[in-house]
Amino acid sequence: MNETRLSRRALIAGAGTAALAAPALAKLAAGGMIDLVLPGGPSLRPTTPAFPGKGEMIVQRIRPPLLETPMEVFREGIITPNDRMFVRWNWDMPTQVKAAEHRVAVGGAVKNAVSLTLNDIAAAGETVEVVAINQCAGNGRGLSSPRVTGTQWGNGAMGCAKWTGVRLKDVLAKAGLAAGARRVRFAGLDVPLTDGAPQFIKSIPMDIALRDDVLVAWGMNDAPLSILHGFPLRIVVPGWFSTYWVKMLSTIEVLTGEDDSYYVADSYRIPAQPITPETKDFPTVPVTAMPPRAFITSHGDGEVVALGKPLVLDGIAMGGDAALERVDLVGKGWEIPCTLGPDEGPFAFRRWSVKLPQVAGDFESIGVRARNVNGAVQPEALAWNPSGYARNVIERMTLRAQ
């Protein structure tokens, strides 16, 4: 990409090719190791600064890339820098995309099927910015006990960015919805590695698609999307898990019925009712809106704190699909309300902090519990499911006093 800063003019000019060089193997080898402390499985992962445009990231897989954000990145601010945002591709993505040649086909149950250039998209409506958390539905899956299948993520498959784009509903209006339009499905330029495997396509119900904050976005923290994050365009659905945030958007298809495609009908689903690991057959629903979560970022598990001294703990929290209402520090049989930091909107991270007057001894099992304005609150026990989706159990840690 030639432009380093994002401008609508740059997008409209349609200039530029984004390309991704292969990570340098020498640099890959030069990274460190990090322990994700995953129960019941290998938990050491290499880290590397070798991916283009990326700082030090945890390598879950090289190709297609799965890169996790180290928790220390969440110690400051609420915006995750672009070079530290986690990366997830189901299938390999193209490593070069020419902006001038890129088209988005809008079809299906529409009045006039259209093929839109980046200029057309940028001019479809008002430019909108929204600060929203990009979180994989499988974030924290590796912490499941008993263990589940899928990428063994720690809690770093999340990040918060400012997204810039136009409203999806303005793009849909270029084609016009036909009678009976019920869902909107998205596809990107990435295709399966193996013959016959399903393409990564995802759909959302019409009431969500028409929301004012659901975007076709080209900007991430005031920079154009990189190849890894979906150049030139991606869907942003604030408050919903980012499995719906289709990258390298190339097709928008309006459906009149349910979506029977693999990644909606068969995958990314959670039990409709709580189950145990022994439950065999159970009804499922798609994983959609995010629940509240909170994390202590000032300290790590097992860290030593000063006995007899005051202690300040802080971290980040999120309300999920509704604004955060409160965060409490919770121990065994006690809880203390935390102070919330600046509010950057309902879908952003928000900082919290709490000052304890004096450390009297070890903290055996402390955590933070977020609650949103809809009354959703983090549970004490894990809602275990076979894919480890939508984890939001209160995360606990131990601090030693010395």
Q: Given the rule CB under 5 A, which residues bind Mo ion?
A: 88, 136, 243
What is the separation of C-alpha 350 from the centre of its chain, rounded to a whole number of angstroms?
A: 15
CB of 304 to ligand MTE, least distance (A): 34
User: 372 near 324, Cβ under 8 Å?
Assistant: yes
Which of 50, 223, 218 lies closest to 118, judged by CA?
218
User: Amino acid letter at 57?
Assistant: M
Residue 200 binds what, of ligand MTE, Mo ion, none (CB under 5 to 8 Å, by partner type)? ligand MTE
DSSP class of residue 216 equals E
Interface residue with ligand MTE among 69, 155, 243, 261 (CB under 6 A) is 243
Q: Which is nearer to ligand MTE, 202 or 371 (CB)?
A: 202
Q: Which is nearer to Mo ion, 16 or 386 (CB)?
A: 386
User: Amino acid letter at 135?
Assistant: Q
Is 168 a binding residue for ligand MTE by CB under 6 A? The answer is no
Interface residue with ligand MTE among 148, 175, 208, 248 (CB under 6 A) is 248
The footprint of ligand MTE on this chain (CB under 6 A) covers a number of residues equal to 19
Task: For residue 233, give every residue at least 6 positions away whose Cβ sits within 8 Å of its Cβ, in sequence order, or none.
Answer: 102, 104, 118, 121, 165, 216, 217, 218, 225, 248, 249
Is 136 a binding residue for ligand MTE by CB under 6 A? The answer is yes
- Residues 203-242: x where in contact with ligand MTE by CB under 6 A, - otherwise, as a string: --------------------------xx-----------x
User: Amino acid letter at 229?
Assistant: H
CB of 135 to ligand MTE, least distance (A): 7
Task: For residue 76, give every residue at least 6 positions away whose Cβ sits within 8 Å of its Cβ, in sequence order, or none.
Answer: none
User: Which residue has the closest beta carbon to ligand MTE?
Assistant: 188
Q: What is the 3-state secondary structure (H, E, C) of 231-265?
A: CCCEEECCCECHHHCCCCEEEEEEECCCCCCHHHH
The stretch near ligand MTE (CB under 6 A) out of 79-87, 304-312, 354-362, 382-390 is 79-87
User: Amino acid letter at 131?
Assistant: V
Is 90 a binding residue for ligand MTE by CB under 6 A? The answer is yes
CA distance 362 to 157: 30
Q: Which is nearer to ligand MTE, 188 or 219 (CB)?
A: 188
Q: Which is nearer to ligand MTE, 251 or 378 (CB)?
A: 251
Q: Which residues bind ligand MTE (CB under 6 A)?
A: 85-90, 134, 136, 188, 190, 200, 229-230, 242-243, 245-248
